[in-house]
A and B are shown apart, each in its own frame.
Chain A
Amino acid sequence: MDLYLPIAELSVNVFVFLAMGAAVGFLSGMFGVGGGFLITPLLIFSGIPSAVAVGTGAAQTVASSVSGAIAQYRRNNVDVKMGFLLLMGGIVGAIIGVQVVKLLRQIGQFDLFISLAYVFFLGSIGTLMMIESLNAVRRSFSANQATTAIRRSHHNWIHGLPLKMRFHRSRLYISAIPPVMIGAFVGLLGAIMGVGGGFIMVPAMIYLLRMRTGLVIGTSLFQILFVTAATTVLQTTQNYNVDIVLALILMVGGVIGAQFGAVAGEKLKGEQLRFLLAGLVILVCLRMGWDLVVMPTELFSISGITGGSH
């Protein structure tokens, strides 16, 4: 069944994109990740203009983070004050990011930029995860279960910053600058790459802000929900690149796939999952990088004045 997408201005096969949404939903359910970093490249590979892929990715992330955020809030796993600071930073980052998207589309470098961003972030994070999971697998084989004490030095450079605030929920007394900066960076990435940004924010909150893991998950979901919602609105007003029809198809496929993915994920061990996820991340990275380094069959491209690449 073909459906004409109003914003992408293409006729696509609904089942192909339902399947794509379901596949990514399966993987995100299995690995417990947002899936934005998978759906956006897949959309680009399948011929959706990259700007539309990014805008639609943001809308889809809203759908996949909303119920998680509410559940975490109910379990009192959200540090609202911290979340609010992250959110403020995130919205500033998103505003800048959307403008960056607009500018890059005008000068015709958006495709390049998004490929570089993906290659870089997926490459580095995939590699680190791969190393970590291999080490974990090796350790579990050698049966050395001695857990090293958590290094949690209470004083790092973060504590030297001004504007200190007390975060009761997280039992922290730190400067407001790092949360805002982290939020802004993640918001910027979200707008440019069409991702939620949990893969950056979660480690940053754990190791820079020294927050408890449980709180980190809840608070980051809270931030991701609102920032991706804000990004969606910003993208529609600035770049007109959110395709509701496409987003809806992906969401439907995604939520169904996620159910089966979660079941499959329970059958695998944590380090196996992380190893597989790392492999997947690296594959996407390589696929993106391949297009950058291999001589394209067609050196020319045409586009309208604001973008919408071909």
Chain B
Amino acid sequence: MGLRELNESVRVWWTEVRASEVGRIFTVRNIALAVAAVLIVLAIAFSWPKSEKAPQPKSPSESAAKAPAKPQPAPETQPKAKSEPGTITTTPPLATAPARRGTSVGRETVEADVSTRSVSITSNFSGTEIVVFGAVDDSHQETAEAGIYDVVVVVEGTQVPLVARRKSNVAGIWINTESVKFERVPSYYAIASTRPIEEIADERVLRTQQIGFTHVPMMPDPTTKSQLKEKELEQFRDAVIRLKKDDGLFIKKPYGVAFIGKALFRTSIDLPANVPVGPLTTKVYLFRDGSLLADYEAHVTLQREGMEAFLHSFAFDRPFLYGLFAVFLAVTAGLAASAFFRRRGGAH
């Protein structure tokens, strides 16, 4: 028994078909095939996107096409020092910030770290959670509930080029017609804060610090930019944010950061199963009365490990061998199955 029998049944199937019956069908089929070819050619001609008139196979996208489609993990090249906590940068108080009371002006700084500096994606990776914790130096807060300080934690993945496409109805069929290429969009963006960021600081501060989905840098490719109105571009930008949110790759937790003591705070950030591999940058911002007091940066590496890393680098670094291996595996599986079932006398 086995695929041999399966194949036998194919033979039976076809010999049972009386030649005259199929002969009649085949003439119809022959005509149908010709019509099909014409239809498909027409369909492609229809569906050719207007905003991408020239697919320019020799443009940068060609080199991008040659290279793997995904951000390269390159675990070894990740310098060790990068996973060490970054340096403290105290931002001078903004000139426009509301007047601050008390003696604490500009004195507080923030330090933070991440529970897991290195997240490994293995064969049973189904998402994980990292904890970002930190403390406010020189905290003037009496209790955790006082709420003098606001903390915003942003975890951002690598910035990669991305194409957004919009479908429209052409001759009754929904096809991609318009597209916008964004040069750099973070592959992952999570934001957690002590309260909604709009309440923490005003629009201008958030924009300069690039905090929040709407302030994520998302520059359209210069070639597509000129062809679209600003309003349309906005729709595409919103769509990218919406789709990334749906995929669980853009995450917002407005009350995600909690103070545990007068200085200590923590938050947990979800890394979903589909999180793109690559280094993550964690930024912690300390606000008081709407102005940024300090920020801090830490890094998390996210890399494939074990079988997962092996298969992925095998597929992308040695594609030819990988292909041969896939064929070998398939041939072995097929032969093993037929040998096994033949020995057992089949399932008759």
Do the two chains bind? yes
Residues of A within 8 A of B (CB): 1-4, 6-7, 9-11, 28-29, 31-33, 59-60, 62-72, 102-103, 106-109, 111-113, 116-117, 120-121, 124-125, 128, 131-132, 135-136, 147-152, 198, 202-203, 206-207, 213-214, 216-217, 221, 229, 232-237, 240, 242, 244-245, 247-248, 251-252, 255, 258-263, 265-266, 270, 273-274, 291-296, 298-308, 310
In the complex, 28 of the A-B residue pairs with CB atoms within 8 angstroms, ordered by the A residue number, are: A2-B126, A7-B312, A9-B274, A11-B274, A28-B6, A29-B9, A67-B334, A71-B4, A107-B48, A108-B176, A125-B29, A128-B32, A149-B20, A203-B25, A232-B323, A232-B330, A233-B327, A237-B320, A252-B333, A255-B3, A270-B12, A274-B17, A293-B174, A295-B174, A299-B167, A304-B161, A305-B64, A305-B65
In the complex, which residues of chain B have a beta carbon less than 8 angstroms from the beta carbon of A304?
A: 69-70, 160-163
Is B311 touching A299 in the complex (CB atoms < 8 A)? no
In the complex, which residues of chain A have a beta carbon less than 8 angstroms from the beta carbon of B69?
A: 240, 304-308
Residues of B within 8 A of A (CB): 1-23, 25-26, 28-29, 32-33, 36, 39-40, 43-44, 47-49, 52, 55, 57, 61, 64-65, 68-70, 121-127, 160-169, 172-176, 179, 181, 236, 239-240, 242-244, 246-247, 273-274, 276, 304, 308, 311-312, 315-316, 319-320, 322-327, 329-331, 333-335, 337-338, 341, 346-348
Is B334 touching A116 in the complex (CB atoms < 8 A)? no
| Smallest CB gap from B125: residue in A | A4
Instruction: Report how far A299 CA is from B338 CA in the complex, Å.
Output: 46
Instruction: Report how far A125 CA is from B322 CA in the complex, Å.
Output: 35
| Smallest CB gap from A3: residue in B | B123
| Smallest CB gap from A229: residue in B | B327
13 more CB-based (< 8 A) A-B contacts, given A3-B124, A255-B337, A260-B347: A6-B311, A11-B273, A29-B9, A102-B65, A120-B39, A132-B17, A147-B18, A150-B19, A203-B22, A217-B14, A251-B333, A304-B70, A307-B69
User: With A259-B2, A306-B64 given, is the CB distance from A216 to B315 under 8 Å?
Assistant: no
Is B4 touching A4 in the complex (CB atoms < 8 A)? no
Is A10 touching B274 in the complex (CB atoms < 8 A)? yes
Among B16, B17, B316, B334, which residue has its beta carbon within 8 angstroms of that of A240? Answer: B316
In the complex, which residues of chain A have a beta carbon less than 8 angstroms from the beta carbon of B65?
A: 102, 106, 305-306
Among B175, B323, B346, which residue has its beta carbon within 8 angstroms of that of A236? Answer: B323
- Shortest C-beta distance, A116 to chain B (Å), equals 5
User: With A4-B122, A147-B18 given, is the CB distance from A293 to B323 under 8 Å?
Assistant: no
| Smallest CB gap from A200: residue in B | B33
8 shortest A-B CB distances, which residue pairs? A68-B7, A233-B323, A236-B323, A67-B338, A300-B239, A66-B334, A11-B273, A32-B9
Among B28, B166, B333, which residue has its beta carbon within 8 angstroms of that of A128? Answer: B28
Instruction: Report how far A71 CA is from B191 CA in the complex, Å.
Output: 60
Is A262 touching B9 in the complex (CB atoms < 8 A)? yes
Is B124 touching A4 in the complex (CB atoms < 8 A)? yes
